């Protein structure tokens, strides 16, 4: 079971747009490299409003790996490829311009943050719901984050059936209880999670003299953190909703996005055109295979942002299966190690066609 809590964090790496630049400027879709080489490139980039030192750049590379944006060999993983396709909608001239996310980028990045750090996001929002606004100093002086981590590990210890994972979680809990984080270590353990939520519209970051205060933000008359809590409720419920591919529905409801549900009878034409368009950009040479997960995330993001349509991965998979039944020689599926449909190959004829 994936534990949705990121531990490799750094307070200077709170803007998701940094990963956009890491993908576009520092890494490659196919070329291997070393973490030291990539972090050095990233540290040398002029972001204008922020400066990454060597240490924070190393953390950015480690975070990109743990988020699934790049592989251990430093080339793009499938989530990184999906991000690059979304970035291609609004190309920019300078790296600093990627720090401000477009609506599509915000949707897709938040999905990936939920997948990697959803338990921490939920528990941090619950903390702020309980105590209201909180200063940076107060946050780092108390054991709020320690207790959040302990609660998350305890929950996953009950949820997982993997004995080794249970031992790992138990050890983490015991270690943190015996040796709590210090003021200095909490800077890295706490601030990255919260500063990222500032970027996603959950908090306002207010600088007051020598202090920084985080204040929950309202949208349409209601706290955004309250909407997230109402959507996810508990880690257990969150995991159930993720297993049903409800990420984009969760995002829609949290951020009050106006969108109607996908209707095959009405939207199939639009969907097919988008599937073919995305496939042409997503497949890899020489196999011509495209990841169904990439197609799903890119199309779902664009539909929600631009077309105001909520579509889920099963909807897209069903449409692909429907096309396969109609044109068995023009579309082929390939499975992953678990035997599940994971990749698709279209014929040249299908790629050059309009809606069928």
Could you read off the pLDDT of 44-68 as tens digits, one per residue?
A: 999 988 888 899 999 999 999 999 9
* Residue 87, pLDDT score: 97
Task: Place 352 in a pLDDT band, splitting at 50, 70 and 90.
Answer: confident
What confidence score (pLDDT) does residue 51 get? Answer: 84
- Residue 189's pLDDT is 85
Mean pLDDT, the chain, whole residue set: 93
Angle between helices 103-131 and 78-87 (to 10 degrees): 110
Measured at the alpha carbon of residue 293, what is the angle toward residues 268 and 341, in degrees to the nearest 5? Answer: 90
Give the list of residues 6+ apart from residue 310 with CB closer than 8 angstroms, or none. Answer: 248, 249, 252, 259, 260, 261, 262, 303, 304
The model's pLDDT over 23-44, given as tens digits with 9 standing for 90+, comes to 999 999 999 999 999 999 999 9
pLDDT confidence of residue 354: 64
Task: Using pLDDT thresholds of 50, 70 and 90, give the confidence band for residue 320.
Answer: very high
Mode of pairing for the β-strands spanning 260-261 and 309-310? parallel
The pTM score is 0.95
Within 10 Å of residue 264's Cβ, how many Cβ atoms? 11
Q: Please, what is the angle between helix 224-232 and helix 103-131, to 10°? A: 90
3-state secondary structure of 92: coil
Q: Write the CB contacts of 224 (distance below 8 Å, at least 6 apart in sequence).
A: 201, 202, 216, 217, 218, 254, 255
Handedness of CA 59, 239, 302, 323 (dihedral sign): positive
What pLDDT band is residue 303 in, cutting at 50, 70 and 90? very high
Q: How far apart are CA 8 and CA 260, in angstroms?
A: 37
Looking at residue 208, its pLDDT comes to 83
In the chain, the percentage of residues whose pLDDT exceeds 70 is: 99
* pLDDT reported for residue 12: 83
* pLDDT surpasses 60 at 279: yes
Burial class (CB in 10 A: 0-12, 13-18, 19+), 161: exposed
Range 198-232 burial, b when 16+ CB lie within 10 A, else e: bbbebbeeeeeeeebbbebeeeeeebbbebbbebb
What is the model's pLDDT at position 187? 84
Question: Among residues 100, 123, 109, which one has the least CA distance to residue 247?
Answer: 109
Domains and CATH numbers, the chain: 17-100 (no CATH), 101-257 (no CATH), 260-351 (1.10.10.10)
> Which residues have C-beta within 8 Å of that of residue 111, sequence separation ≥ 6?
247, 248, 251, 297, 301
202-255 pLDDT, tens digit each: 999 999 888 999 999 998 889 999 999 999 999 999 999 999 999 999 999 999
Tell me which DSSP letter residue 76 carries.
B
More confident residue, 80 or 9: 80
So what's the pLDDT on residue 351?
86
Q: Residue 1, SS3?
A: coil
Q: What pLDDT sits at residue 355?
A: 52
pLDDT of residue 230: 97
Average pLDDT, integer, range 252-269: 94
């Amino acid at each position: 079971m994936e534990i949705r809590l990121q531990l490799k964090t750094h307070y200077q790496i709170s803007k998701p747009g940094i990963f956009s630049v890491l993908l576009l400027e520092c890494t490659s879709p196919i070329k291997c490299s070393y973490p030291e080489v990539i972090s050095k490139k990233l540290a040398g980039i002029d972001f204008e409003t922020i400066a990454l030192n060597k240490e924070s750049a190393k953390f950015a590379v480690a975070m990109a790996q743990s988020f699934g944006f790049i592989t251990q060999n430093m080339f793009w993983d499938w989530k990184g490829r999906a991000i690059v396709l979304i970035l291609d909608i609004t190309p920019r001239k300078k790296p600093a311009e990627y720090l401000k996310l477009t609506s599509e980028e915000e949707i897709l990045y938040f999905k990936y943050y939920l997948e990697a750090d959803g338990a921490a996001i939920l528990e941090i929002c619950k903390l702020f719901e309980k105590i209201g606004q909180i200063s940076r100093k107060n946050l780092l002086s108390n054991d709020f984050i320690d207790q959040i981590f302990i609660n998350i590990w305890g929950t996953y210890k009950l949820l997982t059936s993997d004995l080794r994972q249970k031992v790992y979680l138990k050890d983490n809990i015991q270690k943190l209880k015996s040796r709590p984080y210090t003021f200095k270590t909490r800077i890295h353990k706490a601030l990255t999670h919260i500063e990222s939520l500032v970027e996603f519209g959950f908090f306002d970051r207010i600088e007051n003299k020598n202090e920084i205060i985080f204040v929950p933000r309202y949208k349409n008359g209601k706290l955004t953190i309250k909407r997230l809590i109402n959507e996810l409720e508990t880690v257990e419920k969150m995991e159930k909703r993720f297993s049903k591919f409800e990420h984009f529905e969760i995002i829609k409801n949290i951020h009050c996005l106006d969108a109607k549900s996908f209707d095959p009878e009405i939207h199939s034409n639009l969907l097919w055109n988008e599937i073919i368009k995305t496939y042409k950009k997503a497949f890899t040479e020489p196999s011509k295979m495209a990841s169904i997960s990439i197609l799903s995330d890119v199309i779902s993001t664009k539909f929600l942002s631009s077309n105001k349509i909520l579509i889920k991965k099963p909807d897209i998979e069903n449409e692909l299966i429907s096309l396969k039944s109609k044109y068995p020689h023009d579309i082929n599926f390939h499975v992953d190690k678990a035997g599940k449909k994971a990749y698709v190959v279209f014929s040249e004829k299908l790629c050059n066609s309009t809606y069928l």
